[in-house]
């Protein structure tokens, strides 16, 4: 569990996984849909959401009957299968969603397998005193309804499953319709792991065709005691209006400040490494930079030396017209700019081709200088496009970066050696994750300390979720005894 990778180790993991993938990955030849993969029907995936809830309830009863040791055995096999089948899930994920990168998605699954906490996360608390002993235990909620995104589909299903099972819950998933095969592959993996470890054949469940209607069945079913939603603002709002206890992991737009005390070469590399990880799909990835004017040009050169391609303001405006589209809300009649789904998570090279620029495969990020008001600064694009805003000083940097984060309180980054500047920004931005002098993924344990999650609950405050986030506290009091000193 306690793995803290260095950059070199991360590269090694990706290289070894990619070596194993070459030429004969089963996924490249595989056929998949919401119901199965390569002709094999997924276990625990139902046509009807009501059946899926029944199955999750049975799974919950089975988990309740397991000892902690038995739960850990199931989780151990989940970790093993997740490592072994990471390349398959990565390939299905890219194939199905057309977003992200196989090597990075593979590394994300490795991270989930290695750094998602298990049952050790729900250790009880004890207080003894003159009045005896009081025990506080982290109890399961029951059956959890989990809504998962298209950006980290199987990663989220597996990470949430490990935490929710460790906490003793059952789980039913309503995955993103655009990532249904990838998500349900992960549901099947959890169930295979359960059977291999001596658990029930169906421990967690999902549906073949998730829709808003299946989500609504989940919201209304009295057996679902907790809703966990990982996605954009619309879906987080809908679970928080459900009338049930809900954990909401919503959108971000992480700003990065680079001041003139930073190691500029390192900052340039770190920012491009973080921004391009899985083509910018992670919600924590760098989305816009505020650079002190006196180091901005040097920073841009450092970025260019690390695979960034600088476009002009005119080209940026042209690209903005492609990657953002005007959409009208049918209910309100109000139209607003929204990301073009065909561009989310695509390679920089592909995006540049859309405005007639051809570059080599070494280009992994598009950068441009932009004013604060530019669409690239204001919208969460989830593409390897990074605008850089020049600022005069730390006051302006903090003011604009806080505004660009839009109150999501999700993630922010800073490259600086000035502890006063670092502290001021961290205080002002109030984000769940604040990464200093490292790529964004250090914030979820990738080359940084701490456990991982793909459900970062800013709006409801659980933060970097883990097993304990999916529990309810119960107290047991024994008066006047068991204090032995
Ligand atoms: P999305 O918002 O399009 O979809 C998320 C899920 O919600 C899907 O399963 C979708 O079908 C469902 N959904 C959407 N509206 C719904 C509604 N009204 N009722 C019920 N279900 C509904 O998300 P996406 O595009 O896959 O993911 C990208 C967004 O999610 C970004 O904004 C990103 O920042 C955010 N995200 C946040 C985290 C986090 O941990 N905070 C993690 C991943 C993604």
| 31: CATH | 3.40.605.10
282, 204: one domain: no
pLDDT digits (tens, 9 = 90+) for 411-439: 999 999 999 999 999 999 999 999 999 99
In this structure, is residue 128 part of a structural domain?
yes
Q: Are residues 412 and 313 in the same domain?
A: yes
Any atom of ligand 1 within 6 Å of the Cβ of 93? no
Residue 275, CA atoms < 13 Å, CB-side half-sphere: 33
Instruction: Tell me if 230 CB under 6 Å of ligand 1.
Output: yes
Residue to substitute in 34, 100, 149, 251 for testing ligand 1 pocket (most ligand atoms within 8 angstroms of CB): 149
CA separation for the pair 192, 113 (Å, rounded): 15
Atom 24 of ligand 1 has which residue's CA nearest to it?
Answer: 149
The rounded Å distance from CA 476 to ligand 1 centre is 38
CA distance 286 to 83: 27
Say yes or no: CB of residue 235 within 6 Å of ligand 1: yes
Do 330 and 244 belong together in one domain?
no
296 C-alpha to ligand 1 centroid (Å)? 34
Cβ partners under 8 Å of residue 220, min gap 6: none
Contacts of 324 (CB under 8 A, 6+ apart): 337, 338, 339, 340, 375, 379, 381
**Domain range enclosing 228:** 7-250+464-473
> Would you say the CB of residue 157 lies under 6 angstroms from ligand 1?
no
DSSP state of 372: T
The predicted structure's pLDDT at residue 54: 98
Q: Which helix (DSSP H) or strand (DSSP E) does residue 285 occupy?
A: none
Number of domains in the chain: 2
Residue closest via CA to ligand 1's atom 9 equals: 176
The atom number, within ligand 1, closest to the CA of 455 reads: 40
Decide: residue 7, CB within 10 A, 0-12 exposed, 13-18 middle, 19+ buried. Answer: middle
Find the 250 Cα to ligand 1 centroid distance in Å. Answer: 7
Q: Is the CB–ligand 1 distance for residue 252 below 6 Å?
A: yes
Tell me the two tokens of residue 449.
Answer: 């300390």
Mark whether 280 and 395 lie in a shared domain. Answer: yes
d(CA 255, CA 109): 26
Residue with the nearest Cα to atom 10 of ligand 1?
Answer: 176
pLDDT at 260: 98
> pLDDT for 62-95, tens place per residue?
999 999 999 999 999 999 999 999 999 999 999 9
Same domain, 259 and 288: yes
Cβ burial, residue 14 (10 Å; 0-12/13-18/19+): middle
Closest alpha carbon to 247 in 468, 473, 458, 467: 458
Residue 1 falls inside a structural domain: no
Query: Which helix or strand (DSSP H or E) is residue 468 part of?
Result: none
Distance CA 55, CA 63 (A): 12
42 and 121 in a single domain? The answer is yes
- Asked if residue 291 and residue 166 are part of one domain, the reply reads no
| 50 within domain boundaries | yes
Q: How far is the CA of 205 from the centre of ligand 1 (A)?
A: 19
Beta carbon of 234 within 6 Å of any ligand 1 atom: yes
* Dist CA 254 CA 413 (whole Å): 7
Residue 312 CA: distances (Å) to CA of 238, 309, 355: 40, 10, 12
Do residues 123 and 239 both lie within one domain? yes
Residue 223 within any structural domain of the chain? yes
Same domain? For 275 and 229 the reply is no
What does the DSSP assignment read for 411-464?
EEEEE-S-HHHHHHHHHHH--SEEEESS-GGGGGTSSSSS---S-EE-TTS-EE
User: Cα(228) to centroid of ligand 1, in Å?
Assistant: 11
User: Quick check: is 458 in a domain?
Assistant: no
Ligand 1: centre distance to CA 148 (Å): 7
Coil, helix or strand at residue 32: strand
Of 21, 34, 47, nearest to 217 by C-alpha is 47
Residue 410 placed within a domain: yes
CA of 234 to the centre of ligand 1 (A): 7
Do residues 299 and 291 lie in contact, with contact meaning Cβ atoms separated by under 8 Å? yes
Distance 255 CA to ligand 1 centre (A): 20
Could you read off the pLDDT tens digit of each residue along the chain, which spans 485 residues?
Answer: 444 455 565 565 555 544 444 333 334 457 999 999 999 999 999 999 999 999 999 999 999 999 999 999 999 999 999 999 999 999 999 999 999 999 999 999 999 999 999 999 999 999 999 999 999 999 999 999 999 999 999 999 999 999 999 999 999 999 999 999 999 999 999 999 999 999 999 999 999 999 999 999 999 999 999 999 999 999 999 999 999 999 999 999 999 999 999 999 999 999 999 999 999 999 999 999 999 999 999 999 999 999 999 999 999 999 999 999 999 988 889 999 999 999 999 999 999 999 999 999 999 999 999 999 999 999 999 999 999 999 999 999 999 999 999 999 999 999 999 999 999 999 999 999 999 999 999 999 999 999 999 999 999 999 999 999 999 999 999 999 999 99
Prediction pTM value: 0.94
What whole-number distance in Å separates Cα of residue 94 and Cα of residue 46? 24
Q: Both ends of the chain: CA-CA distance in Å? A: 35
Diameter of the chain by CA atoms?
A: 79
Q: Is 457 among the domain residues? A: no
Whether 106 contacts 91, CB under 8 Å? no
Tally the residues of the chain.
Answer: 485
Q: Are residues 399 and 286 in the same domain?
A: yes
Q: Which of 231, 285, 287 to mutate to test the pocket of ligand 1 (most atoms within 8 A of CB)?
A: 231
Per 3-state DSSP, the chain is made up of helix, strand and coil in percentages (nearest 5) of: 45, 20, 35
Judgement on whether residues 262 and 234 belong to the same structural domain of the protein: no
Q: Are residues 244 and 322 in the same domain?
A: no
CATH assignment of the domain containing 359? 3.40.309.10
Residue 215, both tokens: 């989500």
Q: How far is the CA of 238 from the centre of ligand 1 (A)?
A: 11
Q: Is residue 122 part of a domain?
A: yes
Q: Identify which of 375, 387, 350, 383 has the alpha carbon closest to the alpha carbon of residue 277.
A: 383
């Amino acid at each position: 569990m306690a793995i803290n990778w260095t950059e070199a180790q991360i590269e090694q993991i990706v290289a070894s996984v990619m070596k194993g993938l070459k030429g004969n990955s089963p996924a490249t030849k595989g056929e998949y849909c919401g119901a199965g993969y390569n002709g094999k029907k997924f276990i625990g995936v139902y046509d009807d959401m009501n059946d899926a809830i029944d199955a999750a309830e049975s799974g919950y009863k089975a988990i309740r009957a397991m000892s902690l040791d038995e739960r850990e055995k199931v989780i151990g096999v989940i970790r093993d299968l997740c490592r072994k089948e990471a390349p398959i899930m990565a390939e299905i994920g890219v194939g199905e969603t057309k977003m992200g990168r196989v090597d990075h998605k593979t590394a994300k699954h490795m991270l989930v397998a290695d750094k998602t906490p298990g049952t050790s996360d729900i250790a009880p608390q004890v207080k003894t005193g003159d009045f005896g002993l009081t025990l506080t235990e982290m109890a399961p909620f029951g059956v959890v309804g989990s809504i998962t995104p298209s950006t980290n589909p199987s990663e989220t299903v597996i990470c949430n499953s490990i935490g929710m099972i460790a906490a003793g819950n059952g789980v039913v998933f309503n995955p993103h319709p655009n990532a249904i095969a990838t998500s349900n592959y992960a549901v099947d993996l959890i169930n295979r792991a359960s059977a291999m470890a001596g658990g029930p054949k169906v421990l967690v469940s999902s549906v073949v065709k998730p829709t808003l209607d299946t989500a609504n069945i989940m919201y209304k079913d009295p057996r679902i005691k907790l809703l966990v939603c990982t996605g954009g603002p619309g879906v987080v709002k809908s679970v928080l209006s459900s009338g049930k206890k809900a954990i909401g992991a919503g959108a971000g737009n992480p700003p990065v400040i680079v001041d003139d005390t930073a190691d500029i070469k390192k900052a340039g590399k770190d920012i491009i490494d973080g921004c391009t990880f899985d083509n910018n799909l992670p919600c924590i990835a760098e989305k816009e930079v505020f650079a002190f004017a006196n180091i901005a040009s040097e920073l841009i050169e450092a970025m260019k030396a690390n695979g960034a391609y600088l476009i002009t303001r005119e080209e940026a405006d042209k690209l903005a017209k492609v990657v953002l589209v005007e959409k009208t809300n049918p209910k309100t009649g109000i139209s607003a700019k929204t990301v073009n789904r065909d561009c989310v998570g695509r390679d920089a090279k592909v995006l540049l081709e859309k405005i007639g620029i051809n570059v080599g495969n070494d280009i992994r990020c598009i950068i441009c200088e932009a004013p604060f008001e530019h669409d690239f600064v204001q919208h969460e694009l989830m593409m390897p496009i990074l605008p850089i805003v020049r600022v005069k000083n730390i006051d302006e940097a903090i003011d604009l970066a806080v505004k660009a984060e839009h109150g999501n309180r999700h993630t922010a980054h800073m490259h600086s050696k000035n502890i006063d500047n670092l502290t001021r920004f961290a205080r002002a931005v109030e984000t769940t994750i604040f990464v200093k002098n490292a790529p964004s993924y250090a914030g979820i344990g990738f080359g940084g300390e701490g456990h991982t999650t793909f459900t970062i609950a800013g709006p409801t405050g659980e933060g970097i979720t883990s097993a304990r986030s999916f529990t309810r506290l119960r107290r047991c009091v024994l008066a006047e005894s068991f204090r032995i000193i």
